[in-house]
Structure 1
Amino acid sequence: MGNYIRIEGSERILPKNARKIDTLDPNEQMSVTIYLRRGSTKSKLEKMVNEMAERPFSKRQHLSHDEFADAYGADPEDVKKIEEFADEYDLKVDEINTSSGIVVLSGKASSFNQAFNVELANYEHPDFNYRGHTGHVYIPENLNDVVQGVFGLDNRPQAKPHFRLLKEDNAVLDSRSSGVSYKPTEVAKMYNYPSDIDCSSQCIGIIELGGGYRQEDIKTYFKDLGVSEPQLIDVNVDGGKNKPTGDPNGPDGEVVLDIEIAAAVASGVKVAVYFAPNTDAGFLKAITTAIHDKKNKPSVLSISWGAAESNWTNQSIKAMNQAFHDAAALGVTVCCASGDNGASDGVNDGKAHVDFPASSPNVLACGGTKLEGNNGAISQEVVWNEGNNGATGGGVSDVFELPKWQDNAHVPTSINPGGKKGRGVPDVAGDADPATGYKILADGKQFVVGGTSAVAPLWAGLIANINQKLGKPVGFINPALYQLSSEDGAFHDITSGNNDSTDEHGSYKASQGWDACTGLGSPDGAKLLKALTDSAHNLSK
Structure 2
Amino acid sequence: MVGATVFSAALVAAAQVVLATPVARSGYSLKDSHNVPRGWAKVKRAPADHVMQIQIGLKQSNFAELERQLYQGTSMLVSDPEHPKYGQHLSADEVKELVKPTKETTELVHEWLSENGIMPSYNSAKDWITVNLPVSKIESLLDTEYHIFEHKDGAKVARAPSWFLPNHLHDHIDTIQPTNSFFRARAQASDAFVDVGILTDPNLKHYPTSSGIGAVCNTSSVTPQCFETLYKTKGYKPRSTDKNKVAFTNYLGEHPIRSDGELFLEKFRPEYVSVAQTFPQYVIADGPGDGPITDGESHEANLDFQAIAGINPRTPIISYSTGGSPPFTPSNSTPTNTNEPYLVWVNWLLEQKSIPQVISTSYSDDEQTVPASYARRVCQQFAQVGARGTTLLFSSGDAGVGPYGECVSNDGLGTDKFLPDFPPSCPYITSVGATKNFEPEVVAYRPAFVGSDGVAHGNYTSGGGFSNIFEIPPYQKKEVTNYVKNLKGEYDGWYNKKGRAYPDIAAQGLYFAYFYNGKEGTISGTSASTPLTAGIISLKPLGFLNPWLYSEGYKGLNDVTEGSAVGCGVDGFPAVKGWDPVTGLGTPDFPKLVKLAGAKL
> TM-score of the superposition, structure 2-length normalised?
0.78
Structure 2 SS opposite 1:362:
coil
Corresponding residue for residue 205 of structure 1: 247
Structure 1 SS opposite 2:43:
strand
Corresponding residue for residue 298 of structure 1: 356
Corresponding residue for residue 348 of structure 1: 407
Cα distance in structure 2, aligned partners of 1:91 and 1:239 = 24
User: Structure 1 14/501 Cα, relative in aligned 2: closer, same or farther at 3 Å?
Assistant: closer
Cα distance, 1:13 vs structure 2: 2.8
Residue of structure 2 aligned with 1:196, choices 202, 227, 237: 237
**Amino acid of the residue matched to residue 128 of structure 2?**
I
Alpha-carbon contact 1:386-1:501 (below 8 Å) kept: no
Structure 1 SS opposite 2:435:
strand
User: Structure 1 276/189 Cα, relative in aligned 2: closer, same or farther at 3 Å?
Assistant: farther
Deviations 1:324-360 (A, max 9, x none): 2212221111111000001125633242222211111
Residue of structure 2 aligned with 1:508, choices 541, 565, 573: 573
Alignment of 1:124-143 (within 5 A): 124-143=150-169
Cα distance in structure 2, aligned partners of 1:254 and 1:100 = 34
Cα distance in structure 1, aligned partners of 2:256 and 2:182 = 24
Cα distance in structure 1, aligned partners of 2:258 and 2:56 = 35
Residue of structure 1 aligned with 2:592, choices 521, 527, 537: 527
Residue of structure 1 aligned with 2:558, choices 492, 497, 507: 492
Identify which range, 298-307 or 264-273, moves more after superposition: 264-273
Aligned length: 511
Structure 2 SS opposite 1:175:
coil
Deviations 1:490-535 (A, max 9, x none): 2121111111135x23511111111121111111112211111269
User: Structure 1 327/162 Cα, relative in aligned 2: closer, same or farther at 3 Å?
Assistant: same
Deviations 1:180-221 (A, max 9, x none): 212334313321126232635322232222222233333343
Q: Are 1:226 and 2:270 counterparts?
A: yes
Corresponding residue for residue 104 of structure 1: 130
Structure 1 SS opposite 2:461:
coil
Corresponding residue for residue 41 of structure 2: 19
Residue of structure 2 aligned with 1:173, choices 182, 201, 224: 201
Cα distance in structure 2, aligned partners of 1:478 and 1:506 = 27
Cα distance, 1:12 vs structure 2: 3.5
**Amino acid of the residue matched to residue 213 of structure 1?**
P
Residue of structure 1 aligned with 2:300, choices 230, 249, 254: 254
Identify which range, 225-234 or 28-37, moves more after superposition: 225-234
Cα distance, 1:32 vs structure 2: 0.9
Alignment of 1:236-251 (within 5 A): 236-242=283-289, 246-247=293-294, 249-250=296-297
Structure 1 SS opposite 2:122:
strand
Q: CA RMSD in A?
A: 2.8
Q: Once the two structures are aligned, what percentage of the paired residues are identical?
A: 23
**Amino acid of the residue matched to residue 328 of structure 1?**
G
Cα distance in structure 1, aligned partners of 2:491 and 2:540 = 36
Cα distance in structure 2, aligned partners of 1:186 and 1:292 = 38
Corresponding residue for residue 321 of structure 1: 379
Corresponding residue for residue 3 of structure 2: none
Cα distance in structure 1, aligned partners of 2:502 and 2:403 = 12
Cα distance, 1:52 vs structure 2: 0.4
Residue of structure 2 aligned with 1:380, choices 433, 440, 445: 440
Cα distance in structure 1, aligned partners of 2:109 and 2:44 = 30
Q: Are 1:430 and 2:504 counterparts?
A: no
Alpha-carbon contact 2:397-2:433 (below 8 Å) kept: yes
Cα distance in structure 1, aligned partners of 2:395 and 2:312 = 19
- Max radius of gyration: which structure? 2
Corresponding residue for residue 289 of structure 1: 348
Cα distance in structure 1, aligned partners of 2:101 and 2:205 = 56
Cα distance, 1:4 vs structure 2: 1.6
Q: Are 1:72 and 2:96 counterparts?
A: no
Cα distance in structure 1, aligned partners of 2:129 and 2:565 = 41
Alpha-carbon contact 1:352-1:415 (below 8 Å) kept: no
Cα distance, 1:31 vs structure 2: 0.7
Cα distance, 1:248 vs structure 2: 5.9
Structure 2 SS opposite 1:380:
coil
Cα distance, 1:167 vs structure 2: 4.4
Deviations 1:381-435 (A, max 9, x none): 11111134200101222222222221332332683417623322111001112xx
Cα distance in structure 2, aligned partners of 1:401 and 1:153 = 25
Alpha-carbon contact 1:21-1:121 (below 8 Å) kept: yes
User: Structure 1 167/443 Cα, relative in aligned 2: closer, same or farther at 3 Å?
Assistant: closer
Structure 2 SS opposite 1:316:
helix
Q: Are 1:453 and 2:527 counterparts?
A: yes
User: Structure 1 137/445 Cα, relative in aligned 2: closer, same or farther at 3 Å?
Assistant: farther
Corresponding residue for residue 312 of structure 1: 370
Cα distance in structure 1, aligned partners of 2:375 and 2:127 = 15
Structure 2 SS opposite 1:412:
helix
User: Structure 1 18/317 Cα, relative in aligned 2: closer, same or farther at 3 Å?
Assistant: closer
Corresponding residue for residue 439 of structure 1: 513
Corresponding residue for residue 62 of structure 1: 89
> TM-score of the superposition, structure 1-length normalised?
0.86
Structure 2 spans left out of the alignment, 5+ residues: 1-24, 207-218, 326-337, 409-415, 449-458
Alpha-carbon contact 2:181-2:370 (below 8 Å) kept: no
Deviations 1:274-295 (A, max 9, x none): 4132465322121232244225
Cα distance, 1:35 vs structure 2: 1.3
Structure 1 SS opposite 2:548:
helix
Structure 1 spans left out of the alignment, 5+ residues: 372-377, 468-473, 536-541
Alpha-carbon contact 1:96-1:103 (below 8 Å) kept: yes
Cα distance, 1:20 vs structure 2: 2.6
Deviations 1:466-487 (A, max 9, x none): 12xxxxxx2211111112377x
Alpha-carbon contact 1:383-1:517 (below 8 Å) kept: yes
Residue of structure 1 aligned with 2:424, choices 358, 373, 383: 358
User: Structure 1 364/521 Cα, relative in aligned 2: closer, same or farther at 3 Å?
Assistant: same
Cα distance, 1:368 vs structure 2: 0.7
Deviations 1:14-51 (A, max 9, x none): 33343333222211122111112112x22222232233
Cα distance in structure 2, aligned partners of 1:534 and 1:222 = 29
Identify which range, 422-431 or 62-71, moves more after superposition: 62-71
Structure 2 SS opposite 1:107:
strand
Alpha-carbon contact 2:564-2:571 (below 8 Å) kept: no
Corresponding residue for residue 482 of structure 1: 550
**Amino acid of the residue matched to residue 42 of structure 2?**
K
User: Structure 1 290/401 Cα, relative in aligned 2: closer, same or farther at 3 Å?
Assistant: same
Corresponding residue for residue 31 of structure 1: 53
Q: Are 1:144 and 2:191 counterparts?
A: no
Residue of structure 1 aligned with 2:260, choices 214, 217, 232: 217
Identify which range, 52-61 or 398-407, moves more after superposition: 52-61
Structure 2 SS opposite 1:533:
coil
User: Structure 1 419/320 Cα, relative in aligned 2: closer, same or farther at 3 Å?
Assistant: closer
User: Structure 1 285/238 Cα, relative in aligned 2: closer, same or farther at 3 Å?
Assistant: same
**Amino acid of the residue matched to residue 387 of structure 1?**
P
Alpha-carbon contact 1:309-1:353 (below 8 Å) kept: yes
Alpha-carbon contact 1:161-1:305 (below 8 Å) kept: yes
Structure 2 SS opposite 1:379:
coil
Corresponding residue for residue 47 of structure 1: 68
